[in-house]
Amino acid sequence: MTSRSLLAYPCSASFSTSLAQFAQVQQKKNRANLPPERGTKNSVKIKKKSPVRDVGKRPALGERKALRKRIVLSNTNAFEVQGLKDLHATNMHTNGVKGCVMGLSGIVVDSLRAVEAFKTTQGWNLFRRPAILMRKESTQIAEFIQEVEAAEGKKTIRRILIGDRASGKSTLILQALAMAFLKDWVVINLPDAKELVIGHTEYASLPGSNPTQYTQNMYTANLLSQIAKANAAVLSKLRLTTKPNLPITVPPNATLDKLAGLGATNPEYSWPIFRALWDELMQPNRPPIVFAIDGLGHIMRNSTYMSADIKPIHAHDLTIVRHFVDHLSGTATLPNGGIVLAAITGSNNPSSPALDFSLQVAEARAKGSDSLPTWSPYKPADQRSLDSLKNVDVLRLNGLSKEEARTIMEYYAASGMLRRTVDNSFVSDQWTLSGGGNIGELERGTVKLRI
């Protein structure tokens, strides 16, 4: 075979590496997104997201509570009611104010705000300025004030306000405090009994007390601050007449508002200073006192505080509560006269069989019933609460009359909050729908539902 013929048939090797070199490398399967193989554990790893950082400003200490308890007393969008007269010391006892809506002056409003008489559940933020309806029960409070003044400080009236939910019990306490401010009485108000017993304020045993009593220094200091601010016009004219034995130096001729302010700025001495202030108010020729509390049921049972032997502390072993209960029961008196008021709450009323039974007995006694209710032996007896309530009197708040309902609805319409003609038919319908004139339901049905 010639060389030309050899070129026609190229030579080939028995094996070659070219295919392996130029072949595409087969990629391994990514098993990260596949289910685990049989017989192996699940090794799927999920990347955790980093927490989102809060870029907003966190609320300061107590800011949420302050916002929740914020009171708005003026609505600039509401109309100014023409011809609205203010309640004052001379007209509160006249027949001309009965069944009328009366305004509250700025000085009285400031004092009521200082003692926390306004509630967030009340509709003050709907109207141009605070005003009150002088309903039948309001005129009774005015008569109580007149009786105390006529007795020249020798009479103390004690009442528990009862009624249905939203019947106006807290508002009636506010009206009593407003009248007392107008009469230059000393006003001491415990706005919510619940805050005294739920364990939100610090407490300590009172040295030398037997049985052991417990003070709440921060609460007492705040109470003294309210007393000094709300009653400044009266207390600034009264000076110390005794030499109180206090663990802090007090100027011998200090005014009573300065004494209360001293306890407000020194919480560790707040209870002895409160006792010294109270003793001064009990001296002859001092003004009468209105002592009030809202939410009475909370202090007629055990509190959430614990004693040293891990037992619940009864609410009556707290010094502020004990002080009020003594005056409500009549154990302690007001030498210069005054009114002691307590209201039960319908929206947040705790279980207190002793209070319920005592109110039933008081109502039956007021009606002149021959057979009084008897205590059921199957109920647990809180003897301390029963003893403190056995001689109390009650004042029941019924619904508004149709005339009073018409007056308050005309006030709603004059304020621009009720966009309906107030005629006999409309008044009758709303009075019936509100459960016979329940003022809270009447306000909800006519103003808040925007009829």
Q: What is the mean pLDDT of residues 84-105?
A: 95
pLDDT at 451: 46
**309: burial class by Cβ within 10 Å (0-12, 13-18, 19+)?**
exposed
pLDDT at 14: 53
pLDDT at 44: 57
Each residue's pLDDT tens digit, 172-224: 999 999 999 999 999 999 999 999 999 999 999 999 999 999 999 999 999 99
Confidence class of residue 6 from pLDDT cuts 50, 70 and 90?
very low
The neighbour count for residue 222, using CB atoms within 10 Å, is 17
pLDDT at 348: 83
Q: What is the mean pLDDT of residues 80-93?
A: 95
> Cα(133)–Cα(130) distance, rounded to whole angstroms?
10
Peptide bond between residue 267 and the one before it cis (omega within 30 degrees of 0) = no
Contact 87, 102 (CB under 8 A): yes
The whole-model pTM stands at 0.86
pLDDT at 421: 93
Is 313 a residue whose pLDDT tops 60? yes
Is 130 a residue whose pLDDT tops 90? yes
Each residue's pLDDT tens digit, 234-252: 999 999 999 999 999 998 8
- Please give the distance of CA 319 from its chain centroid, rounded to a whole number: 20
Lowest mean pLDDT, pick from 23-37, 212-226, 435-449: 23-37
Each residue's pLDDT tens digit, 132-146: 999 999 999 999 999
Which of 277, 286, 170 has its CA nearest to residue 223? 277
pLDDT at 377: 83
Is 376 a residue whose pLDDT tops 90? no
Each residue's pLDDT tens digit, 264-273: 999 999 999 9
Contact 352, 295 (CB under 8 A): no
Is 34 a residue whose pLDDT tops 70? no
Contact 289, 333 (CB under 8 A): no
The neighbour count for residue 125, using CB atoms within 10 Å, is 14
Confidence class of residue 154 from pLDDT cuts 50, 70 and 90?
confident
**SS3 sequence of the chain:** CCHHHHHHCCCCCCCCCHHHHHCCCCCCCCHHHCCCCCCCCCCCCCCCCCCCCCCCCCCCCCHHHHHHCCCCCCCCCCCCCCCCCECCCCCCCCHHHCCCEEECCHHHHHHHHHCCCCCCCCCHHHCCCCEEECCHHHHHHHHHHHHHHHCCCCCEEEEEEEECCCCCHHHHHHHHHHHHHHCCCEEEEECCCHHHHCCCCCCEECCCCCCCCEECHHHHHHHHHHHHHHCHHHHCCCECCCCCCCCCCCCCCCEHHHHHHHHHHCHHHHHHHHHHHHHHHCCCCCCCEEEEEECHHHHCCEEEEECCCCCEEEHHHEHHHHHHHHHHHCCCCCCCCEEEEEECCCCCCCCCHHHHHHHHHHHHHHCCCCCCCCCCCCCCCCHHHHHHCCCCCEEEECCCCHHHHHHHHHHHHHCCCCCCCCCHHHHHHHHHHCCCCCHHHHHHHHHHCCC
> Cα(309)–Cα(211) distance, rounded to whole angstroms?
14
Q: Which residues pair with 381 in a beta bridge?
A: none
Confidence class of residue 27 from pLDDT cuts 50, 70 and 90?
low
Percent of the chain with pLDDT over 90: 76
Which of 39, 181, 22 has its CA nearest to residue 111? 181
Task: Quote the tokens at residue 346.
Answer: 């319908």
Q: State the pairing for strand pair 156-163/338-343.
A: parallel
Is 128 a residue whose pLDDT tops 90? yes
- Mean pLDDT, the chain, integer: 90
Confidence class of residue 346 from pLDDT cuts 50, 70 and 90?
confident
Lowest mean pLDDT, pick from 134-148, 369-383, 433-447: 369-383
**Which are the contacts of 58, defined by CB distance < 8 A and separation ≥ 6?**
none
pLDDT at 25: 54
Each residue's pLDDT tens digit, 442-451: 999 999 876 4
